[in-house]
Amino acid sequence: MTPKPPNPSRLEANQAPGSTPPSAVTLTRPDDWHLHVRDGDVLNTVVPHTAAQFGRAIIMPNLKPPITTAAQAVAYAGRIRAAVPKPVHGGVTFEPLMTLYLTDNLPPDEVKRAKDAGVVALKLYPAGATTNSDAGVTDVRKTYKTLEAMQREGLLLLVHGEVTAPEVDLFDREAVFIDTQLIPLRRDLPELKIVFEHITTRQAAQYVRDADRFTAATVTAHHLLYNRNAIFTGGVRPHYYCLPVLKRETHRLALVKAVTSGSAKFFLGTDSAPHPAHLKEHASGCAGCYTAHAAMEMYAEAFDNAHALDKLEAFASFNGADFYGLPRNAGTITLTRERWMPPESFAFGEAQLKPLRSGEALPWRLA
Ligand code: DOR
Ligand code: ZN
C-alpha cells in the first residue's frame, strides 16, 4: 500500500526527530522586527518582498542623513507605504513600524513627539560600528536624558551591540559590548525595554536568556544557517559579509538552541540589508545580507534542520509582538516543502541587488 501523503496542517509541525517530516507549515502572519529598506526608487524593489511575507516590520533609520525626528519618520513611513503593492483580494496589508536614530544630542522632548507620531523605538548605533553609523552614539552616557524619556514613554531601545575600539578583535566585539556597555546600561535604566539586535554569539544568547523581562533579542536567518566559513569558502564571498559578522559554529549552534528553546525572549528580525551588488563585490565591500526575498523560507529551513518547526510560529509571529506590546497579526501564511530557485538578482535602481542564496535552491517555499 502506498503511504498517504502527509496532510499539510499546523499540527504536523510538531515533529519528533525521526518521524515523517511535515510537508507544510501554517503560521499566524509573522512580523520582521529588524529591516532595512533604504529610500527612493529602490523601495519599489524591496518593500514588496517584505510585504508578501510579513504583517509589519521595524524599519531601521540608518539613512543618509539618518531619521532623527518624528516628522522625518512620518514622511519616511509614507514613502514606504506608497511602495506596498495594493492587496489583490483585499485583506492582507503591511504596516511599517518606525524608529529614530539615536545620536549624542537627540533632544529628550523629541521622544514625546515621536511617541505621539506612532514611532515605536530608537536605534542605538555605536558610532562607526556599521553602515551609516558615523552619526551614532560616541558614549551612551551622553544619551541618558533621552533614554530616561524613552523609559517614561514606553519606547524601546534597539541596540547594535558591538564595541568599535580598533584594538578589540572583530569577532569579540559583541561579547565585549555586553560586559562594558550593556550590563551598565541595563543597571542604570532597569525598566527601559531593550532589544539586543541580530545577536551572533553564545554569550549574547546566554545574556538574553538570563536577563529580566525588559530584555529581548532578534536573530537573523543567516546567523542561524551559516557560520563564518561561509564568507571564505572557495574564495571571499562578499554576499555573506554582514555586521555583526558570522561567527564560529559553536555560536551558530547556541543561537539555534536559543530560538528553538521555547523562550519568548527571542524573535525574528531579518536584518535584511540591501546594497548594490557592485558595492558588495568591491575592494572594501559593504556589510549586509539581503534576505527579504525569501526570509520565511530561510527561517523554516533553519528550524526544520533543528527538527523544531513547531517552535517557528512563536518566534516569528508571537514573541516580538508581545514584547513590543502590540497585537499579534490576524491571518496566516503557509510554507510548503518545495525546492525552488530564487532569482540571481533583482533590479535595484540603476544597479543590481544580489540576494543571499541567489541561484541556489531553497527547500521551503511560501505558498
Ligand atoms: O550588515 C549590516 N548591514 N549590519 C548593520 O548593522 C547595518 C546593515 C546595513 O544597513 O547595511
Ligand atoms: Zn540592521
Residue 3 lies in a domain: no
Residue 2 lies in a domain: no
Residue 349 contacts residue 40 (beta carbons within 8 Å):
yes
% of the chain surpassing 70 pLDDT: 93
Q: Which residue, 297, 238, 219, 130, is CA-closest to 230?
A: 238
Residues labelled catalytic: 271
Residue 92 lies in a domain: yes
- Rounded distance between C-alpha atoms, residue 104 and residue 119, angstroms: 19
Expressed as residue numbers, the domain containing 101 is 8-366
DSSP state of 288: -
Nearest listed ligand to the Cα of residue 223: 1
Please state the atom number of ligand 1 nearest to the C-alpha of residue 197: 6
Q: Is the peptide bond preceding residue 65 cis, with omega within 30 degrees of 0?
A: yes
Please state the atom number of ligand 1 nearest to the C-alpha of residue 275: 11
Q: Which of 32, 36, 231 to mutate to test the pocket of ligand 1 (most atoms within 8 A of CB)?
A: 36
Please state the atom number of ligand 1 nearest to the C-alpha of residue 60: 10
Q: What is the pLDDT of residues 331-351, one digit of tens each?
A: 999 999 999 999 999 999 999
For ligand 1, atom 7: residue with the closest CA:
131
Q: What is the pLDDT of residues 34-91, one digit of tens each?
A: 999 999 999 999 999 999 999 999 999 999 999 999 999 999 999 999 999 987 666 6
| Cell (9 digits) for 245 | 559578522
Nearest listed ligand to the Cα of residue 275: 1
Residue 1 lies in a domain: no
- Rounded distance between C-alpha atoms, residue 40 and residue 42, angstroms: 6
Residue 79 lies in a domain: yes
Q: Which residue, 144, 186, 142, is CA-closest to 161?
A: 186
Residue 126 lies in a domain: yes
Element (H, E) at 347: strand 346-348
Residue 135 lies in a domain: yes
Question: End-to-end alpha-carbon separation of the chain, Å?
Answer: 29
Give the domain CATH number at 329: 3.20.20.140
Please name every residue paired with 137 in a beta bridge, in sequence order, or none if there are none.
Answer: 126
Report pTM.
Answer: 0.94
Residue 197 lies in a domain: yes
Distance 270 CA to ligand 2 centre (A): 8
- Rounded distance between C-alpha atoms, residue 365 and residue 24, angstroms: 9
Number of domains in the chain: 1
pLDDT of residue 10: 38
pLDDT band, very low/low/confident/very high, at 11 (cuts 50, 70, 90) = very low
% of the chain surpassing 90 pLDDT: 90
Distance 60 CA to ligand 2 centre (A): 7
pLDDT of residue 92: 64
For ligand 1, atom 4: residue with the closest CA:
243
- Rounded distance between C-alpha atoms, residue 53 and residue 36, angstroms: 15
pLDDT of residue 87: 76
Q: What is the pLDDT of residues 103-160, one digit of tens each?
A: 999 999 999 999 999 999 999 999 998 888 899 999 999 999 999 999 999 999 999 9
Distance 343 CA to ligand 2 centre (A): 23
